[in-house]
Structure 1
Amino acid sequence: MTVMEQRGAYRPAPPPAWQPRTDPAPLLPDAEPYRVLGTPAAAEADPELLRTLYAQLVRGRRYNTQATALTKQGRLAVYPSSTGQEACEVAAALVLGERDWLFPSYRDTLAAVVRGVDPVAALTLLRGDWHTGYDPHEHRVAPLCTPLATQLPHAVGLAHAARLKGDDVVALAMVGDGGTSEGDFHEALNFAAVWQAPVVFLVQNNGFAISVPLAKQTAAPSLAHKAVGYGMPGRLVDGNDAAAVHEVLGDAVRHARGGGGPTLVEAVTYRVDAHTNADDATRYRGDAEIEAWRAHDPILLLERELTGRGLLDEAGVRAARQDAEDFAAALRERMNQDPALDPMDLFTHVYAEPTAQLGEQREQLRAELEAEAESEGARR
């Protein structure tokens, strides 16, 4: 006879697992991406914010084209362009407070730059010089993350720890649609919802995970719908509408800061350039598709709104473009300077306290470099 079979044994009633813990209806995203530009809602947008977004978009586009050119000149090893996605990049950086944290992916160098990171430092990883070229604590920007979606659990951990300490901090984690197919994405969302961590997840759905279209990754109605499975709100927004992205992300940040927990935002956008300079995008998409998205360019949409409302004239457009050119020229000049690299820096910042094995490797490299220098000196 088992304990449960004994007379008078405690028999707890199982919980009604089939019932939802919360009403799913408020968590579901809208049927169509939320828009501001070209709608009556645009009249309520702050004109100064719209002008700031525009200036940053123009500068961001020029940053992308300049960085792409640097790969062709051998000054960058690789560059994942965010051309066409600048509205997501700019809005993500601008909605955060000074104490908040940004967790970017490898495609999000523009967001890091708008957040305040030096543009050359932001490109250092892609140059192959350092694992990250900047101090993450200075501007509260985590290192650019090349493994897909591994930055998401990091964002949740930081946000959860900040809440436990009583710090007023929100983490905004950026990821592409391809990253949503990784286990890290699901683990991060589950932990964030269970802990009610102050995190905002921004999925930039740009249509392709390298060459794999979204339809071959998921059968969900939208990526934003995945939020309800974890118990958090899902928002669907037009990722080329800078005002809409800023508004939706701003709402999500305030929701998280107020103790409401995480939000999953899917921004529907398009990657105009190839995955990286090493990718041949003509293998999996045609020019007609790209041109159709160019008509929905984030700069074009915002410029049309601003000029139509008399908030931007030709002089303002020229000023924004000139600022972008000056920015690109300064970046180009600095990137054309050969960096002074020390191979021994390979061992810097790996651990707070270097391990014995790392110390052995460091001394081995030091000996090899010294021997090489002596041999070079003897040949002279």
Structure 2
Amino acid sequence: MSIEIKTPTFPESVADGTVATWHKQPGEACSTDELIVDIETDKVVLEVVAPADGVIKEIIKGEGDTVLSEEVLAIFEAGAAASAAPAAASAPAAAAPAAEASATTDAEKVGPAARKLIEENGLDANQIPGTGKNGGITKEDVVNFLKNKPAAAPAAAVKVDNAAALNIASGERVEKRVPMTRLRATIAKRLVEAQQNAAMLTTYNEVNMKPVMELRKQYKDLFEKTHNGTRLGFMSFFVKAATEALKRFPAVNASIDGNDMVYHGYQDIGVAVSTERGLMVPVLRDTDAMTLADVESTIADFGKRGRDGKLGMDDMQGGTFTITNGGVFGSLMSTPILNPPQTAILGMHKIQERPMAVNGQVEILPMMYLALSYDHRMIDGKEAVQFLVTIKDLLEDPARMLLEV
């Protein structure tokens, strides 16, 4: 029985997608719910799985093709054996002239992903040993061939999957050209738009992290034991402090929609997560009702799913405020860019010991710079500074978060 493999239904905010990777080729056996193709949108990567046991009969949309919601990607033959597709495909070739049959066979033995890589690098498919079914050439075969291929004569540009795989002679100048992914292109576009369309301003402060660090040190083992292995980090303190500050300064929790200012009666805080595909901002919902353990476990889950490419559309839609932590990469100070249509974003940075004046005495304290970027069209400087000072005060005296004072 033939089944049409279609792209998933995209939300209204997603116009189209791109076929990223075919994990199965025509004729390869597929099991029910086995991953067969990735569809990359401007927000997430969606996975399409096999609807039943069988084989892919025909791929209609190749890697790099743009697809719409519910567009046909391939024809799937349910219940067919792994050899069914190649046999069916080779039948017409038998009646063709010898030269044409040979060309058809060569085309069939090269998968779409491998063919794309061969064309990009100007390779001859006949020189590449195939390890796939019936001697077919896979993407891995092409990558291995490139790794073992001797370095060519110096050229203006060389295109390969991995620059480190080149056997580069001393003094040789090479370049690597990689198409920007849809997600990366969308991130770039949104960041530029945020700076062009908002009156963005940044205010800075610093916070003494010693009280939070001592509290964490005192209770981290008990916390992890009590909450089934959930580790107590710093982000949960910042999320809870930001939640309390957002309740006190509603304009920071608002957004701009045309000429309207939309005030939100809830706190949904996005937490920036760095992944191989780019920066993603999954959202913690109703943080006012979340405990420290809830925040930590949810962020840990976001991080794992982000690395595995499992974050969904629903995880990243909405959000009334964003927190980004450049400190994990060693950043001492930076200016975060707004995440439209939100009107503010908080930047955390590296904790670094510095000499500080305390009651007329010099003490060495673990300090962190905080940065709040905000849209001056919506938020006055006074509100922005007071919001940041509120976060500072709550973190330097964590008991105030529990007492809400």
Instruction: Please confirm whether the aligned pair reaches a TM-score higher than 0.5, indicating the same fold.
Output: no
Greater fraction helix = 1
TM-score by length of 1: 0.30
Greater RCO (CA < 8 Å, at least 6 residues apart): 1
TM-score by length of 2: 0.28
Which structure would you say has the larger Rg?
2
Greater fraction strand = 2
